Amino acid sequence: MQRKPRILVVGSFVMDVIATTEQLPRSAQTVYGKSFHMAPGGKGANQALQCARLGADVTMMGCIGDDLFGERLLEPLKSAGVDISHVMVRDGVTSGVGHITLEVTEHTAQNRIIVIPGANRTLTVDEVSWLQDEISTYDMVLLQLEVPLEVNRTVARWAKEAGVPVMLNPAPATDLDDELLRYVTYLTPNEQEASMETGLPLSSDENGPCRSDLQKIAAALWSKGVENVIITLGSSGSAVVRDDGIRYIPSVHMDHVVDPTAAGDSFVGALSVGLTAGLPQEEALAFASHTAAITVSRMGAMPSLPTLAEVQALLKERGYRGFDSAALDILK
């Protein structure tokens, strides 16, 4: 490829309202918080912005409300050069909102999230119909589960028919549609999502997630047509499950974890960029792990997403030898 990869994201916009506390309240209990702030996010918008900050040519399709949150949600994408000309604005409808409680201790940060979809659930198949003729011009399509299923299913089918790989990040966790799975090239659930979507347990021991459980989950997903199963495992990294075994990609440790809110979106965006830029799968996963590591060291969703230069600096700092940094020159 002699040009920057072109990536299409069809997904959500969500304004995150974030309260941090040292202790989550129990039922009927009130606790003092440490801080409060708002940050633009949404799984689709986060992934689009991460792809753009890493150098890809990105188009974003989704819906916002005609409110102040909607305006603020678009600003980071505009600044990063994302094509937002296909984002719909809904009159009289609120933009999506994410209510996040962040429990922060000396060494860890854990979140609890409630998403109010708002305008995200109003996107229609008719509004994405322009993609049927244009989708072949993209190198990858990114989807999540915060917009209507019929939109995801239709876009994925068009991409599959055009020979364009589809990456589905199946979050929030839900029962997946078998027809949608037939069109998926890369499925990237976390541990909980992988278990919920297959109805199979995923146990862990002192060595991490059980290999036989991972293999059974992947087999169930392969049987539905998914080509590549990549399961993110939090601090245990990620696992690529193949017929010939499981390949673990270690996480990249950061001394100070601040907010894990957008870590999964950062990982997925970076993986997509790495693959479309020509990196082999294992190296693209390492690139994604370094990218997500920077994200968890910062507060907020979109504000935490790193640039290509920052990721390259971390790769150098940690002495990564998997690929020559010149392999990413196409993204500059």
265 is catalytic: yes
What is the Cβ-side half-sphere exposure of residue 89, based on CA atoms within 13 angstroms? Answer: 12
* Distance set, CA 270 to CA 37, 133, 264, 276 (Å): 26, 27, 10, 10
Contact 202, 195 (CB under 8 A): yes
Element (H, E) at 209: strand 208-209
Per the residue annotation, which of 213, 244, 265, 324 is the catalytic one?
A: 265
Kindly state the DSSP code that residue 139 receives in the 8-state scheme: S
Contact 202, 209 (CB under 8 A): yes
β-bridge mates for residue 64, sequence order: 89
Q: Which of 117, 120, 113 is nearest to 260 (CA)?
A: 113
Catalytic (active-site) positions: 265
